[in-house]
Structure 1
Amino acid sequence: MNMPHTDLRNVRRPIDQANGLGNAHYIDPAIFAEERQAVLFNNWPGLATASDVPEIGDAVPLTFLGMPLLVLRDKSGQVRVFQNTCRHRGMILVDAPRKIEGAIRCPYHSWCYSTEGRLVSTPHVGGPGQNTHQGIDRDLLGLVEIRSHVWMDVIWINISGTAPPFEQANADLISRWAEFDKPLHHGGADSRFQLSVNCNWKLAVENYCESYHLPWVHPGLNSYSRLEDHYNIETPGEYSGQGTLVYRQLTDDDGAKFPDFADLSAKWDTAAEYVTAYPNVLLGVHRDHTFAIILVPDGPEKTTENIHLYYAASTTDPELRARNTDQWKQVFEEDIFVVEGMQRGRHAVQFDGGRFSPAMDGPTHMFHDWVASQLETHRAVPCAI
């Protein structure tokens, strides 16, 4: 079997000597499959939000990189993620969002599972009227649970089960934003939206990491939060991004604003920060709201961006919320032509991955270097795929 291979040596050089990841990392299905395991399954990607399953029994089926998953809130209120497949014949258990009132019942042969994943019923498994069989040990046939963790309302998953604990893998970012470790109130239906973009998911990360493009791509934003007001954020192995020293709160016609998060340090009176928590979650924090963008790779050249906005209070002015959503949607939509243009550019066969500005592209280079490190580790394992 031919294994995918790309030369990563230039990517891992110091920024003033490095090239970016080569074209294959954006257009080649074989490399996409390799990164699926090495970069996404082996780490802690974001899948969804806890607000997607707000009440006990809520269940939402999702497909992540071709894998059928089920997110639900069990009877104790804990958010869980399972493979959305029956342990009997692999049938999909839940095919649309719904409330689980009792057990999760397979529509094929009616095997039933608790919301904690235990196999609780196997009708006729031993023959007509015989609901048990010595060869079927229910204790060993519960749903396959995917390791998960909720932070900043994002549901993070480790499909391989081999990553360090989430709190260890993301210790620096959790500490950096400890002041936001408090209840985040999802704004509701008017505070979530989805964008579909024709690009590899990594290009959305790379664009988000840097402020270099602000004057030309986001002139409205740059008019008050200028390029020179921004700073790079770089923590190898965990996250990278940008911050601004000038954050302007949104106000309504009477001058009212969203309430602030309680007990924030003075830094946040004027600052805001935007980072990518590797591999695929784009986060933003401000004194009065936060957001999370979960990038869902739909193939080498397609990505879905699921955007969620959060506030310090459970009740906020709906008109102001809608204006905030529209404002961010405009900013994120302004980036679409850039990431799609870079995607088309990756079909230029002599493009060498590009170079980085040593002053401005540090966060993006750090992400490239991290992706390359994950691939090198993966390739070092015999027969890795």
Structure 2
Amino acid sequence: MTVVDPVLADVQKPTAQARGLPNAHYTDPDKFTEEREALFGSGWAGLAVASDVPEIGDAVPISFLEIPLLLIRGRDGVVRVFQNICRHRGMILVEEPRKIEGAIRCPYHSWCYSTQGQLVATPHVGGPGYNSHKDMDRTTLGLIEVRSHIWRDVVWINLSGSAPAFEDAMAELIARWAEFEQPLYHGGADSRFALTVNGNWKLAIENYCESYHLPWVHPGLNSYSRLEDHYNIEMDGLTSGQGTLVYRQLAGENGAVFPDFTDLTPKWDAGAEYLSVYPNVLLGVHRDHAFVIILRPNGPGQTEEYVHLYYATPDTDTALRERNAEQWKLVFEEDIFVVEGMQRGRRAPGFDGGRFSPAMDGPTHCFHKWAAGRIAEHRATA
């Protein structure tokens, strides 16, 4: 497709000639609003993980791009996503995470919904003492469901409802990690943490994509998994990231390690991969554990990072699990000053989006090309 905007055209040039997205895409509220539709709404984005609602009736309200959503595990055990509003007057239904014991009751006029979203009660809707009305069809007034799909425990949502089926949209990625299509067990309370970063969500994606920064930002990690041990991964229009040929298993004082995922090929004996799945999910796989990071933007200048660690078996050593979480938290915290520093740098009026190393920045440029292409398509159809 021909891009009319010359700035976006520059972003889509070959890596050696391209410039990055301009400052406004990191600082301007209007650009953030545009990206909500262009980058998040039309495809599959990560909202949360199914492990956030492990039991029937568990409900978690989530503000996603300022849209009030409700993640809930219904009485049938199915995890769904609804708009967190009553169909009567648009009142927020659930304010805090809780277990729904009966129905979801609106605090305003007590309209009630099942955990599967059906409208089941409308007190006095036909006048005092009359709980129905001939002109009120409850079957058409259930909660508004957001299209969703669960893969690698991530609850992926398609806000527009028009994206290709998840399995088709993510076919290349699913095939790449086909060996890991086996049960994942969330490590529990000690295997989840959240970080607040005062930077644009795209900078978190860009930083995670590449290994170029390892020697200076992650000296501990780089001491055994060196820059030269890494390789780039680029899947245009889907994901990009990095892999390492030198993954070192964490071992306890008695030499114990986490159980491996089953039937993996020798590639994974000492290898691992880390992918940014556009727009906002970061994934990592290793022989003995995996992780998910969901990025939730709070406007153009702040991002919440929700980190979850998973294992091949439901029962793992508590002390070793805690050490693993602490180790990863340190690594991800080391990235914060970089993302925040680049965000402050986007206030410099002379910065033109920057340049890319042809050898090292291919994964980052892959993300920029995807974003520029989606934005251009959105503008052409708006």
Same fold (TM over 0.5): yes
Report Cα offsets for 1:204-238 as digits up to 9, x if no partner.
00000000011111111011101111000001111
Structure 2: how far apart are the matches of 1:255 and 1:105? Answer: 52
* 300-309 vs 5-14, which moves further: 5-14
- Residue aligning to 1:58: 58
Equivalent residue pairs, number: 378
- Residue aligning to 2:79: 79
Residues 35 and 373 (structure 1), Cα distance of their counterparts in 2 relative to 1, 3 Å cut = same
Structure 2: how far apart are the matches of 1:332 and 1:97? Answer: 26
- Residue aligning to 2:185: 185
Q: Are 1:118 and 2:124 counterparts?
A: no
Displacement of 1:298 after TM fit?
Answer: 0.4
RMSD (CA atoms): 0.9
Structure 2: how far apart are the matches of 1:222 and 1:326? Answer: 17
Structure 1: how far apart are the matches of 2:124 and 2:301? Answer: 47
Q: What amino acid is the match of 1:45?
A: A
- Residue aligning to 1:169: 169
Displacement of 1:277 after TM fit?
Answer: 0.8
- What pairs up with 1:14-25 in 2 under 5 angstroms? 14-25=14-25
- Residue aligning to 2:300: 300
Structure 1: how far apart are the matches of 2:373 and 2:253? Answer: 50
- Residue aligning to 2:310: 310
- Residue aligning to 2:92: 92
Report Cα offsets for 1:38-78 as digits up to 9, x if no partner.
10121211111000000111111110011110000011111
- What pairs up with 1:149-298 in 2 under 5 angstroms? 149-298=149-298
Structure 2: how far apart are the matches of 1:59 and 1:51? Answer: 11
Q: What amino acid is the match of 1:312?
A: A
Structure 1: how far apart are the matches of 2:89 and 2:288? Answer: 49
What secondary structure is seen at the aligned counterpart in 1 of 2:274?
strand
Structure 1 runs of 4+ with >2 Å offset? none
What secondary structure is seen at the aligned counterpart in 1 of 2:298?
strand
- Residue aligning to 1:132: 132
What secondary structure is seen at the aligned counterpart in 2 of 1:10?
helix
Displacement of 1:195 after TM fit?
Answer: 0.6
- Residue aligning to 1:328: 328
Percent identity, aligned pairs only? 70
Q: What amino acid is the match of 1:200?
A: N
Structure 2: how far apart are the matches of 1:10 and 1:31? Answer: 18
What secondary structure is seen at the aligned counterpart in 2 of 1:195?
strand
* 99-108 vs 243-252, which moves further: 99-108
What secondary structure is seen at the aligned counterpart in 1 of 2:284?
strand
* 92-101 vs 194-203, which moves further: 92-101
Structure 1: how far apart are the matches of 2:183 and 2:90? Answer: 38
- Residue aligning to 2:36: 36
* 159-168 vs 367-376, which moves further: 159-168
What secondary structure is seen at the aligned counterpart in 2 of 1:299?
coil
Displacement of 1:7 after TM fit?
Answer: 2.6
Structure 2: how far apart are the matches of 1:166 and 1:367? Answer: 19
- Residue aligning to 2:379: 379
Structure 2: how far apart are the matches of 1:100 and 1:27? Answer: 39
Structure 2: how far apart are the matches of 1:353 and 1:99? Answer: 46
Report Cα offsets for 1:102-127 as digits up to 9, x if no partner.
21111111111111111111111111
Structure 2: how far apart are the matches of 1:181 and 1:62? Answer: 28
Displacement of 1:353 after TM fit?
Answer: 0.3
Structure 2: how far apart are the matches of 1:23 and 1:141? Answer: 43
Structure 2: how far apart are the matches of 1:94 and 1:338? Answer: 36
Residues 6 and 144 (structure 1), Cα distance of their counterparts in 2 relative to 1, 3 Å cut = farther
Structure 2: how far apart are the matches of 1:7 and 1:142? Answer: 44
Q: What amino acid is the match of 2:180?
A: F
Q: What amino acid is the match of 1:185?
A: Y
Q: What amino acid is the match of 2:314?
A: S
- Residue aligning to 1:345: 345
Structure 2: how far apart are the matches of 1:182 and 1:113? Answer: 34
Structure 2: how far apart are the matches of 1:296 and 1:288? Answer: 27
Structure 2: how far apart are the matches of 1:246 and 1:7? Answer: 39
Q: What amino acid is the match of 1:363?
A: P
Q: What amino acid is the match of 2:251?
A: T
What secondary structure is seen at the aligned counterpart in 2 of 1:125?
coil
Residues 288 and 350 (structure 1), Cα distance of their counterparts in 2 relative to 1, 3 Å cut = same
* 307-316 vs 173-182, which moves further: 173-182
Report the TM-score when normalising by structure 1. Answer: 0.97
Structure 2: how far apart are the matches of 1:51 and 1:182? Answer: 16
Structure 2: how far apart are the matches of 1:74 and 1:128? Answer: 31
Structure 1: how far apart are the matches of 2:365 and 2:11? Answer: 8
Report the TM-score when normalising by structure 2. Answer: 0.98
Gap regions ≥5 residues in structure 1: none
Report Cα offsets for 1:90-111 as digits up to 9, x if no partner.
1111111111112111111111
Q: What amino acid is the match of 1:111?
A: W
Displacement of 1:6 after TM fit?
Answer: 8.0
Structure 2: how far apart are the matches of 1:377 and 1:143? Answer: 31
